[in-house]
Amino acid sequence: MNIILLGPPGAGKGTQARFLVEERNMIQLSTGDMLREAKESGTAMGRLVAEVMARGDLVTDEIVIGLIREKLEGDKRGGFIFDGFPRTLPQADALADLLAEKGERLDAVIEMQVDDDALVARITARSTCGNCGEVYNDQTKPWPADGSCVNCDNPQVSRRADDNEESLKQRLMEYYKKTSPLIGYYYAKGDLRTVNGLGEINEVKASIEAALT
């Protein structure tokens, strides 16, 4: 099964992708992770990515599609989760062409709907373990009182510098301008499934499972 997780920054896409990887043996294709992996790989594509990033230029759609192509040609396991791509309508068309070229299909697009004000409140309270990346929240899942991560016992907690109200609103504006048109695009194709992204983590997980059934 190949799916796209669609939603604004902080909607919980990464957390839900991790569940799908663990329980369905899927492969998460995160644009950021793929770029970092390519940069360190030493391959021709990796050297190209390193050169672009060293210049401070934006990585082109063609490069990202090239990285995804390499992944599709490898072990497919339980299918792919596209996280952070596509972000625009041209990228969606490019992904559709690539999947068709490789004899693959897109099975579902999961839109994680959120309320902006609630999302900003949640994200500005967010912190993560500096070792394993376990996510905490000052209101709903505070950093443990003993000072160590429940997942790996690491004592270091961090907050993203851009997890502040002004930065988040700017990121949301970029999402609505560039990425939200994908909602209509995939609805017209009959691929869109909608879940409440602001529920409890396990509630969101159950909703995604139901949408994929």
- Identity of the amino acid at 153: D
Enter the tokens of residue 98: 């690539």
Catalytic status, residue 69 = no
Residue of 71, 126, 141, 178 marked catalytic: 126
Residue of 18, 71, 87, 159 marked catalytic: 87
With 0-12 / 13-18 / 19 or more C-beta atoms within 10 angstroms meaning exposed / middle / buried, residue 80 is buried
User: What is the rounded distance in angstroms from the CA atom of residue 205 to the CA atom of residue 167?
Assistant: 27
Catalytic status, residue 160 = yes
Residue of 18, 71, 141, 171 marked catalytic: 171
User: What is the rounded distance in angstroms from the CA atom of residue 109 to the CA atom of residue 2?
Assistant: 9
Contact 113, 5 (CB under 8 A): no
Catalytic status, residue 36 = no
Residue of 77, 102, 105, 160 marked catalytic: 160
Contact 130, 157 (CB under 8 A): yes
User: What is the rounded distance in angstroms from the CA atom of residue 117 to the CA atom of residue 81?
Assistant: 27
Catalytic status, residue 159 = no
User: What is the rounded distance in angstroms from the CA atom of residue 128 to the CA atom of residue 92?
Assistant: 31
Catalytic status, residue 13 = yes
Contact 70, 163 (CB under 8 A): no
Enter the tokens of residue 110: 């999961």
Q: Which residues are tagged catalytic? A: 13, 87, 126, 160, 171
